Amino acid sequence: MSENLAKLNARLADINALNAANAIMDWDHQCYMPKGGARARGEHQASLSRMAHELFVADETKTLLDKAKAETSGDEDTEAMLRVVSRDLEISTKLPSSLVAEKSKLSAQGHEDWVEARSTDDFSKFAPILEKLIELAQKEAECLGYSDHIYDALTDQYEEGASKKYWDGMFDTIRQPLVDLVAKIKEKPAPDDSFLTGDFPASAQSDFSHKLVRAIGFDLDRGRIDVAAHPFCTGWSIGDIRLTTRYQNFLNTSIFGTLHEAGHGMYEQGTPKKWDLTPLAGGVSLGVHESQSRTWENLVGRSRPFWDHFYGELQVTFPAFQSISQDAYYRAINRVEPSLIRVEADEVTYNLHIMIRFELECALLEGSVKVKDLPEAWNEKYRAYLGIVPPSDANGCLQDVHWSAALMGYFPTYSMGNILSYQFWEKLEADLGDVNAMMAKGDFAPILGWLQTKIYSQGKKYKPQDLVKRVCGEPLNAEPYNRRISAKYSELYGL
């Protein structure tokens, strides 16, 4: 290793340590910190963020990076690592610190105004700050640069290589099939899912969630599950990945929420040891990451064979299910219902919620929809795609936190994850054979092994779209998703 590369690695290790400390503080904030800790925690985290940012964008980093690049040839891993760092550095240095400061100020105010507007169902309290946040996103896009559409600059930060055109192509292939499928399902009687709500002790939910994630392969010696208001996955090394979940009256929340986060967690745990704590560690992009959480939540967790294996244990853990047949349970956990709230949406309608946000984000950034007209535009899209109109803005355009935090450009990665999960799964089945029989026996090791070899072990070495091509032999393709969603729900609803 050249001296410059060693110096660069040492600098990146320092930055990694600062970011890890920040992530632990954030995890603690959401899981255990008493309310009184908020002010100090905010200051500590801001200091650590600033120190990490300053170390990273310092001239010295760029100098070391350029020298290391000139000295390195032939070593694929090192070249990939230098590519990843170059991209991050380019993005970080293009944004002036005045803009970064303005963003954090506006989003703090944005969050306050959004909470107030949502709780009083009064969009006019959020509209003025939203106008400023959109102007800021437009400025941000100008700093980052783009050749085609303003959205391209913003979305590429979250999903390398994505653009408005890329997302348009993706949504064009799923829009009509999903709208048609939802319309057909709406004409059929909805399965009863009332028994999923009840007085389920938190300790039993915790035991059962732990049992499930242990069985699918999340390593609890290198991770843990805690309770937080919003489920998430975080971590700071392959030896320490944290999941959070919630134990509420609605049993799906803990079961499928935990499987979802465990999918993210196993991806993180699957980084090769040699890349732990380096820029190549972890998931390659938001879209690919979400494909893994969705795989374990939906393709595994909401399948019949999964419950062939686990339903008996569920009935023992939650005796209320002793009078419910496995088939009725399977139908209940796969119930489709056009609803107003994205985060509670089922597998079929979810992408329609995302599409609405994507289309409106583009329109707001272009200026073709004005902020004052947003509620009307929002409701019109819900009517067109889901056949329902929100009775209030609190359950309409005020429901998501993202815009208040100046986050624009990443909603489509959720849909990419859903689509990719089916595309990967089709490949996995072709390679492994009767996956359903394996799941029915509770043998998840071959599935995890395949994902580990093909995806987790690659870390950030390849660009996300290149990884998809390497694994599937083709670019992102919604055909498996459309075909399998249609087959699954036609069977379920007798279409």
Which residue ranges make up the site for Zn ion (CB under 5 A)?
Answer: 293
Q: How far is the CB of 290 from Zn ion (least distance, A)?
A: 5
Instruction: Using alpha carbons, list the distances in angstroms from residue 65 to 9, 10, 17, 18, 462.
Output: 10, 12, 19, 20, 19
- How far apart are the C-alpha atoms of 174 and 181, rounded to whole Å? 11
Instruction: Using alpha carbons, list the distances in angstroms from residue 40 to 35, 53, 229, 237.
Output: 11, 20, 21, 26
The helix (run of H) or strand (run of E) holding residue 223 is strand 223-227
What b/e string do you get for 101-129 counting C-beta neighbours within 10 Å, with b at 16 or more? ebbeebbeebeebbeebbeeeebebbbeb
Given the complex with Zn ion, which of 9 and 293 has the nearer CB atom?
293
Which residue among the candidates 140, 160, 261, 359 is catalytic per the annotation? 261
Beta strands 223-227 and 233-237: pairing type? unpaired
Q: How far is the CB of 293 from Zn ion (least distance, A)?
A: 4
Q: Tokens 């994507």 identify what position? A: 358
233 in Cβ contact with 268 (< 8 Å): yes
Closest CA to 364 of 151, 102, 118, 56: 151
Q: How far is the CB of 424 from Zn ion (least distance, A)?
A: 15
Q: How far is the CB of 67 from Zn ion (least distance, A)?
A: 38
- How far apart are the C-alpha atoms of 376 and 388, rounded to whole Å? 13
Q: Name the packing angle between helices 59-71 and 3-31 (round to 10°).
A: 130
- How far apart are the C-alpha atoms of 178 and 186, rounded to whole Å? 12
Given the complex with Zn ion, which of 245 and 293 has the nearer CB atom?
293
Coil, helix or strand for 149?
Answer: coil
The residue sitting closest to Zn ion, measured at its beta carbon, is: 293
Q: How far is the CB of 275 from Zn ion (least distance, A)?
A: 22
Given the complex with Zn ion, which of 78 and 295 has the nearer CB atom?
295
Given the complex with Zn ion, which of 170 and 416 has the nearer CB atom?
416
- How far apart are the C-alpha atoms of 418 and 287, rounded to whole Å? 8
Catalytic residue at 60? no
Given the complex with Zn ion, which of 261 and 393 has the nearer CB atom?
261
Give the torsion through C-alpha atoms of 283, 470, 165, 279, to 10 deg: 30
Given the complex with Zn ion, which of 278 and 293 has the nearer CB atom?
293
Closest CA to 446 of 456, 431, 466: 431
- How far apart are the C-alpha atoms of 240 and 237, rounded to whole Å? 5
Given the complex with Zn ion, which of 293 and 349 has the nearer CB atom?
293
Q: How far is the CB of 276 from Zn ion (least distance, A)?
A: 22
Coil, helix or strand for 441?
Answer: coil
Closest CA to 27 of 265, 284, 297: 265
Q: How far is the CB of 361 from Zn ion (least distance, A)?
A: 19
Given the complex with Zn ion, which of 245 and 278 has the nearer CB atom?
245
Q: How far is the CB of 264 from Zn ion (least distance, A)?
A: 6
Give me the count of residues in the chain. 495
- Supply the residues annotated as catalytic: 261
